[in-house]
Chain A
């Protein structure tokens, strides 16, 4: 049973465009929602994270939007660059539990 559903599976965006990845969850006990970035041949690395008491968090060109009532959160990559080409995973956990990962989104930014 997949507790975090992620879409799309892949997306292609032109340099300078906006990449949007969406995730939905079921467990209302989740209280931490991170996004991980993974480059080929590397392990995932934490990119940005949010807690459900805020609706948005921005770090540089990366923004998480969080909708608690809809149990959805999304990652926006503004001004996408070729170096952003990677696989992105959303995840969720509660304070005592394990991270539950989405299936991942492969982002390709074309020059």
Chain B
């Protein structure tokens, strides 16, 4: 069956530009998570969506970062006025619901800010 997909797989942008990263979760999964993974580092939580509830934005590092989830399915992570320190792999994961423990990860989007 189809897993979590993310696009693009790689994105190179210039400092100051805006970027949009897309995540398609597993069909029927109500929970969706965004993480950031810097080179050789662990997973940094960014934002969490659960059904129609207000998202948990507690991990967003600055107001340049935002995310939305349309129709309870596809999610877009937007980074405005990108900085070099934003360079990282952005991972999306989904799970069946808030109380479901297993998260299924997508392959990630590698963002490089020049």
Contact = CB atoms under 8 A, between A and B. Distances in A.
Nearest to B59: A98
Interface string B86-114: 00000101000011011111111000000
B102 A43 contact: no
Contact of A34 (B42, B43, B102, B108): B102
B32 to A, nearest CB: 12
B22 to A, nearest CB: 15
Given A49-B101, A93-B101, A103 B41 contact: yes
Given A6-B42, A101-B42, 16 more contacts: A43-B93, A43-B106, A44-B91, A49-B101, A93-B101, A96-B98, A99-B103, A100-B45, A101-B43, A101-B45, A103-B41, A104-B40, A104-B41, A104-B42, A104-B43, A106-B40
20 contacts: A6-B42, A36-B105, A41-B107, A42-B107, A42-B108, A43-B4, A43-B93, A43-B106, A43-B107, A44-B91, A44-B105, A49-B102, A93-B101, A95-B99, A98-B33, A99-B45, A99-B103, A100-B45, A101-B45, A104-B41
